[in-house]
Structure 1
Amino acid sequence: MTETAGTGRPRKARKQVNYGAGRVALLDAAVKVVARGGLRKLTYRAVAEQAGVTHGLVVHHFGSRDALIEEALAHTVRTSLNTSALETGTGSLADFSAGIADMVSSDPDTQAFQYELLLEARRRPELLTQVRALYDEYFDATRRELARMLPEDADEGLTRLVFAALDGLVLHQLVFGEPEVTEAALGRLRSLLQLLGGDGDGGPAADGGAGRPE
């Protein structure tokens, strides 16, 4: 507690925020609010309290709640793509999605936010367009990396199948923990991709230690 100047009355100390991060800090705060309380808890005041800033600053940056939701969703997708190794650009099975388990363990709120938005889109169709468009980024990144690994370009069915497997692993780890189970399953997925002619460069690590297929 600190004293209000000239009154001697205590006032509640605000949380500190990195003002250099600005908009990103507010997006991170919005993600935490939704991940922990659902979309119904997302208000300017809740975000401001989480970030340790004034209510007016959140309004200034985003203007509307819908804009805040849209930008927060885009922010989480960028964060996930940067930390999950979904698209490494190397075309090596050993590298494919190598960071997923650590991503979920270190930043569960980012993933929880996205699942909250997906479920909310079932109840609020107006969210579906932006959720679909932003998730298309995941599908495109998956397709591009599969094209680097496989002798033939991945069709939509294979792309969706691989991403659905990854998405399911993220959800299960988010709920149940057990990153070692995620890692083991990723090893099996890499083994299956190797059967399709995927680049097994990287030795035993390419299939997560699960053993190369005969």
Structure 2
Amino acid sequence: MSTARRTQKQRRDEAEAALLNAAAALVVEKGVRSLTLARVSEQAGYSRGLVTHHFGSKQALLERLAQASQTGFVPGLDGLPPGLDRLLRLIGGYVGMLGQVGVLNRAFLLLWAEAATASELTPIFRERDEAFRADLREDVTAGIADGTVRPDVVPDEVAIAVVGQLRGIGLQRLLDPEAVDTERLRHSVTEHWRRALT
């Protein structure tokens, strides 16, 4: 019985995933200020040289961690056209996913909160939030164009409010999981935005 050899790309992707998970675990356990390339390598069981090879610096590691932990958080949105339906699915899906947040997502929320006071994080999370708001603005704008969203709605304002609400719910879930019933909340938050926009 033979086992298929992994390609170099597969080995590289596996190593990067292990390093990102190790970095996320360190952020969750000890905060961003304790994060170093040496600690990440130790946590992941790799050499420091491999961490440096993959990321080059702590800043690059943080940027990749922010991107990886946010990508694909809400499944099932790919292929949906921009508009009210996609926006409401994103909102409901995001709140629902907060009920099963893994270490990467916990790290993202903690880093996002810390970005207000940690200068090395501020530009990373400013860019991530702007990308998130751009997607939301696209949905609202498309909804206005197709008539499913009221024409007096301001896409920029909705995007800011939605990001603030979703991130705020996420932080509350981290602080007090028992107080935030994400299954019930996902329906009420989604319905709130449906009424507000139509």
Task: Work out the number of aligned pairs and report it.
Answer: 180
Once residues 62 and 92 of structure 2 are traced to their aligned partners in structure 1, the CA distance between those partners, rounded to angstroms, is 29
Give the corresponding residue for 2:44: 51
Percent of aligned pairs sharing the same letter = 24
Q: Is the 8 A contact 1:84 1:100 kept in 2?
A: no
What is the TM-score normalised by the length of structure 2?
A: 0.73
3-state secondary structure, aligned to 2:137: helix
How far apart in 2 are the matches of 1:101 and 1:178? 15
Between the aligned partners of 2:33 and 2:92, the Cα distance in structure 1 is 34
Relative contact order: is structure 1 or structure 2 higher (C-alpha 8 Å, sep ≥ 6)? 2
**How is 1:79-158 mapped onto 2 (pairs within 5 angstroms)?**
79-80=72-73, 82-83=74-75, 89=81, 91-92=84-85, 95-147=89-141, 148=143, 150-152=149-151, 154-158=154-158
8 Å contact kept, 1:26–1:58 = yes
Q: Which residue identity does 2:131 align to in structure 1?
A: E
2:23 maps to a residue whose letter is A
- Is the Cα–Cα contact under 8 Å of residues 86 and 145 in structure 1 kept in the other structure? no
Distance 2:99 2:181 in 1: 13
With the length of structure 1 as denominator, give the TM-score of the two structures.
0.69
Deviation digits for residues 111-149 of structure 1, max 9, x if unmatched? 332233234333333432222011112212222233435
User: Is the radius of gyration larger for structure 1 or structure 2?
Assistant: 1
User: Aligned runs of 1:63-78 on 2, under 5 Å?
Assistant: 63-78=56-71
The match for 1:41 among 21, 34, 38 is 34
Residue segments in structure 1 that go unaligned for 5+ positions in a row: 1-17, 199-214
Indicate yes or no: 2:187 matched with 1:187: yes
Q: Which residue of 1 aligns with 2:175?
A: 175
Partners of 1:181 and 1:51 in 2: CA distance: 33
Unaligned runs of at least 5 residues, structure 2:
1-9
Q: Aligned equivalents of 1:72 and 1:42: distance in 2?
A: 12
The one-letter code sitting in structure 2 at the alignment partner of 1:54 is S
2:60 matches 1:60:
no
Distance in 2, matches of 1:133 and 1:21, equals 26
> CA separation in 2, counterparts of 1:84 and 1:177?
25
Task: Letter of the 1:46 partner, please give it.
Answer: R
Q: What is the rounded CA distance, in whole Å, between the counterparts of 1:46 and 1:104 in structure 2?
A: 28
